[in-house]
Amino acid sequence: MSEDRRLAVLRAIVQDYVETSEPVGSKALLERHSLGVSAATVRNDMAVLEEEGLIAAPHTSAGRIPTDAGYRLFVDRLSTVKPLSGPERKAISTLLDGAVDLDDVVDRTVRLLASLTRQVAVVQYPSLTRSSVRHIELVPLGASRLLVVLITTTGRVEQRILETGMDLADPESERMLASLRSDVNGATVGKTLADAAGGLGELPTQVDPAARGLLAAIAAELTEVLVEQREERVVMAGTSNLVRSGEDFPSSIGPVLEALEEHVVLLKLLGTVTEQGSAVAVRIGAENPYAGLQTTSLVTSGYGAGSDLVAGLGVVGPTRMDYPTTMAAVRAVATYVSRILAE
Amino acid sequence: MSEDRRLAVLRAIVQDYVETSEPVGSKALLERHSLGVSAATVRNDMAVLEEEGLIAAPHTSAGRIPTDAGYRLFVDRLSTVKPLSGPERKAISTLLDGAVDLDDVVDRTVRLLASLTRQVAVVQYPSLTRSSVRHIELVPLGASRLLVVLITTTGRVEQRILETGMDLADPESERMLASLRSDVNGATVGKTLADAAGGLGELPTQVDPAARGLLAAIAAELTEVLVEQREERVVMAGTSNLVRSGEDFPSSIGPVLEALEEHVVLLKLLGTVTEQGSAVAVRIGAENPYAGLQTTSLVTSGYGAGSDLVAGLGVVGPTRMDYPTTMAAVRAVATYVSRILAE
DNA sequence: ATTGGCACTCACCAAGCATGAGTGCCAGCA
DNA sequence: TGCTGGCACTCATGCTTGGTGAGTGCCAAT
């Protein structure tokens, strides 16, 4: 039974193709790997692999390249995640340790991931819904407007400006605000964001009638932030790496860039990731639900403080990608940044 | 004296080249513009223009293309800013009016600018140093850490986490924090950020000795935010437009993308703009001090609330760019977003 | 099941050639 | 003096052609 050797051939094809970016033929394969068989045998194996849909020939007299299914098999069964080198690990930790706040952590993470993998890196801000409320602050702005600030356990700060239609400048209102502030905080602090929205709903019954209108407005604004979570943000770096590997994209990198600019798309992609735990997930080529990204592969992982994951990060690159190395980098960065956030 | 006609020829060359992206020859020029003279005359004019360094021929038997100097002359003396169409103006105002907070304003602005000009748009966040302090909030996080939140008049929120080394959980500390909070706010609110830093420096003498250490730490952190202003951010959109106009870049768009990812560079560029007032500024090709951007042109403008400008925005595109239209779009967007912020 | 051999295919490259847009220059004309 | 028409020349571009070689599929032999 030659099943094993056929897989070895597939592995060799993937490795060579990733390295050279050229279709690999039976002969070239023999020179670079000691398979212990002749070229003709390899050719037979290749024919079978092609029949199984794992490799394909771009044209008649060319070598073979892996298909999406071929990469999938390679990732699932033929590769081992290559550990990072010592210096690399060190670089990761020292770079991330230098961050001063959450923004800075995210910023450094995304740049790090991009330079480490030499691909496009994407990092989602720690998601609101999975963290909980640390503090809510109400700040009057000018005569009638109110700034509502929400601070989460992940150190994230959300803000909204609210037109109250009331005069907030007089001392009376100030006292009212102070009382509202403590009420709102009492009803939400420590709860997850989803629960906090519920807590807000129950508040109006317990409150000075004069303040009810204002409270309702505040609650509405906060609920929007809490529930709709529309403010989820992603940051991106390394887009210039796309053009370097530009030949890997059949048509052009244009559609890819467009898809990447649609942050909503990225959020969807990273969102599904966090549900799968902290394992590194790989989505290859057409497995990807978004048209613009069907020529790319995504390597992603969840990350976050402690045991509850709060967001996703990952890299986007051509399907012809060094999966073992990339997966190692993504995993390592996710681990380190989680550690930082756990503090 | 044929000076006028020569300039008319230059104008025609720029217009045609921008439209067709192909070197324009004497004959093609005559077909598209009624100059009232013969091809030979145009050729003579072209020869002069070439001698003056305003146009150049990519190779012997090709038409001419404008040089950076040619574009410069065109922008300065030969073009009029083309006003936007009614629907365009309407689209701008309705889109920007829908923004819910500062982040959203900036986000919408940059996307709008990108789609309007079909180029890469860049928007700088309203700069800290030019706005003033609205409110400072101190929030204990866990046992010993303190979150310092700075809210500016432009609605921007800056945050820093501080390791105090003290126990902040007990009621005693809470009272101290409350007092510190009002002291700090008293010393800073209403001042410009630069002045606020000064106000903080004078505070320690007036404060409960027990709180001095903490205050010093807070002041140090705030001063860093206030003075170093290192948190200046830019957002970008429309990078996919770069590849569309990819043929315009001699080598590749790679270096351009790299330069654009260096936010520091963009900040420098936009920074010089705000000093020039709200007029639209154009920087063409090699006029640009940054290597990666020497094949691009920048069209920028300051924007901000009221009479004091607080930040810059603009677009980056190939030197072969429709300057009149782009300048009109940049100016219009800057005006509208300023109006929104002035509220 | 594996191998060596062989005929065949076809992308790729270089050379040759035609095409035509565009130029510079010059002599004639207003 | 400035404009024009004419003419010879240049040279990038595109097409065709033929040669080359990597790579394949198949088959008979081991």
**CA–C1' nearest nucleotide, residue A46:** D24
Nearest Cα to Cα of residue A39 among A28, A51, A53: A28
Stated pTM of the model = 0.78
Q: Are B70 and B55 in contact (CB under 8 A)?
A: yes
pLDDT beyond 60 at A230? no
Q: Which tokens sit at A21?
A: 């970016």
Task: Enter the DSSP assignment of A155.
Answer: S
pLDDT beyond 50 at A1? no
**CA–C1' nearest nucleotide, residue A55:** D24
Angstrom distance, B60 CA to D10 C1': 7
pLDDT beyond 60 at A231? no
A182 in B contact zone (CB under 8 Å) = no
Question: Which residues in chain A touch residue B161, judged by CB atoms under 8 angstroms apart?
Answer: 101, 155
Res A128: pLDDT? 59
Angstrom distance, A196 CA to C13 C1': 69
B143 in A contact zone (CB under 8 Å) = no
Q: Which tokens sit at A69?
A: 């299914």
Question: Which residues in chain B touch residue A251, judged by CB atoms under 8 angstroms apart?
Answer: none
Radius of gyration of chain A (CA): 26
Question: Which residues in chain A touch residue B141, judged by CB atoms under 8 angstroms apart?
Answer: 134, 155
B277 phi, psi to nearest 5 deg = 80, -165
A9 touches strand D (CB under 7 A): no
Mean of per-residue pLDDT scores for chain A: 83
Spatial separation of the C-alpha atoms in residues B10 and B181, rounded to whole Å: 64
Q: Given an 8 Å threshold on Cβ–Cβ distance, is A101 in contact with B160?
A: yes
Angstrom distance, B12 CA to C21 C1': 19
Q: Given an 8 Å threshold on Cβ–Cβ distance, is A231 in contact with B149?
A: no
Angstrom distance, A22 CA to D18 C1': 26
Res A159: pLDDT? 79
CB pairs under 8 A between A and B: 84
Question: Which residues in chain B touch residue A100, judged by CB atoms under 8 angstroms apart?
Answer: 160
Query: Is residue B230 very low, low, confident or very high in pLDDT (cuts 50, 70, 90)?
Result: very low
Q: Out of B137, B155, B261, whose CB is closest to A240? A: B261
Give the pLDDT confidence of B158-178 residue by residue, as tens digits.
778 888 777 777 777 777 887
Angstrom distance, A2 CA to D20 C1': 35
List all nucleotides in chain D with at least one atom under 7 A from a protein Cβ.
2-6, 9-12, 21-27
Provide the shortest C-alpha distance from residue B199 to chain A (in Å): 21
Angstrom distance, B11 CA to D6 C1': 28
Ranges of H-type helices in A245-290: 254-261, 263-274
A269 phi, psi to nearest 5 deg = -65, -45
Question: Which residues in chain A touch residue B252, judged by CB atoms under 8 angstroms apart?
Answer: 243
B66 touches strand C (CB under 7 A): no
For chain B, the straight-line distance linking the first and the last C-alpha, in angstroms and rounded, comes to: 54
A48 in B contact zone (CB under 8 Å) = no
In chain B, beta strands by DSSP E: 55-56, 65-66, 120-124, 133-141, 145-152, 157-163, 234-237, 281-284, 296-303, 311-318
Helix A3-20 vs helix A39-51: crossing angle, to nearest 10: 90
B253 in A contact zone (CB under 8 Å) = yes
A23 touches strand D (CB under 7 A): yes
Strand duo A145-152 + A133-141: pairing: antiparallel
Q: Which tokens sit at A135?
A: 């503090």
- A248: number of Cβ within 10 Å: 16
| Residue at token pair 């609650």 | A219
Search chain B and give the residue with CA nearest A239.
B257
Ranges of H-type helices in chain A: 3-20, 26-32, 39-51, 68-73, 86-97, 102-117, 171-188, 193-202, 209-223, 239-244, 254-261, 263-274, 323-342
pLDDT mean over A42-56 = 88
Q: What percent of chain B has pLDDT over 90?
A: 25
For chain A, the straight-line distance linking the first and the last C-alpha, in angstroms and rounded, comes to: 54
Angstrom distance, B114 CA to D16 C1': 45
Angle (CA) B84-B85-B90 rounded to 5° is: 95
B159 in A contact zone (CB under 8 Å) = yes
For testing contact with chain B, the best of A146, A223, A240, A241 (most B CBs within 10 A): A240
Query: Is residue A308 very low, low, confident or very high in pLDDT (cuts 50, 70, 90)?
Result: low
CA distances from B40 to B26, B27, B54, B55, B60 (A): 8, 9, 19, 17, 17
Q: Out of B101, B161, B243, whose CB is closest to A101? A: B161
Spatial separation of the C-alpha atoms in residues A225 and B27, rounded to whole Å: 62
Q: Are B118 and B111 in contact (CB under 8 A)?
A: no
Provide the shortest C-alpha distance from residue B244 to chain A (in Å): 7
A181 in B contact zone (CB under 8 Å) = no
Give the pLDDT confidence of B185-229 residue by residue, as tens digits.
888 888 877 777 777 777 766 667 777 778 888 888 887 776 655
A97 in B contact zone (CB under 8 Å) = no
List all nucleotides in chain C with at least one atom under 7 A from a protein Cβ.
1-5, 8-11, 20-26
**CA–C1' nearest nucleotide, residue A25:** D23
Q: Are A237 and A111 in contact (CB under 8 A)?
A: yes
Query: Is residue A160 very low, low, confident or very high in pLDDT (cuts 50, 70, 90)?
Result: confident
Spatial separation of the C-alpha atoms in residues B189 and B174, rounded to whole Å: 22
Res A306: pLDDT? 60
A26 touches strand D (CB under 7 A): yes
Res A324: pLDDT? 96
Spatial separation of the C-alpha atoms in residues B232 and A102, rounded to whole Å: 15
pLDDT mean over B18-37 = 83
A63 touches strand D (CB under 7 A): yes
Q: What percent of chain B has pLDDT over 70?
A: 89
Span of A300-314, B18-32, B318-332 with lowest mean pLDDT: A300-314
Task: Enter the DSSP assignment of B229.
Answer: -
Q: Given an 8 Å threshold on Cβ–Cβ distance, is A254 in contact with B239?
A: no
pLDDT mean over A247-271 = 82
Give the pLDDT confidence of A29-39 residue by residue, as tens digits.
887 887 778 78
Mean of per-residue pLDDT scores for chain B: 83
A134 in B contact zone (CB under 8 Å) = yes
Provide the shortest C-alpha distance from residue B309 to chain A (in Å): 20
Angstrom distance, A75 CA to D22 C1': 29
pLDDT mean over A47-75 = 90
